[in-house]
């Protein structure tokens, strides 16, 4: 696997994992009972995006290493 393919694969995995991680731990304004006028009641109170980006990177790295091992040991690498 070339470096460019590896980077593209990691970024694809990262975005998919990000969309899977985003809903975890979200508390909406409606759930807290404090809806700011002019916003959607389902808007998150504290989205914690930095923590989610860190978790996304860790999970993506594990998945990427697993895929890399399969590609290497299955002989699919050029």
Domain boundaries, the chain: 1-24+47-78
Query: Band of the pLDDT at 75, cuts 50, 70, 90?
Result: confident
φ, ψ for residue 44, nearest 5 deg: -70, 145
pLDDT digits (tens, 9 = 90+) for 4-60: 999 999 999 999 999 999 999 999 998 888 898 998 998 899 889 999 999 999 999
Query: Band of the pLDDT at 78, cuts 50, 70, 90?
Result: low
């Amino acid at each position: 696997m070339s470096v460019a393919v590896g980077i593209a694969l990691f970024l694809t995995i990262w975005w998919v994992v990000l969309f899977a991680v985003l809903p975890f731990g979200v508390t909406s304004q409606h759930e807290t009972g404090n809806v700011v006028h002019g916003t959607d009641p389902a808007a998150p109170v504290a989205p914690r995006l930095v923590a989610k980006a860190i978790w996304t990177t860790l999970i993506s790295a594990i998945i990427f290493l697993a895929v890399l091992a399969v590609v290497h040991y299955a002989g699919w690498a050029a």
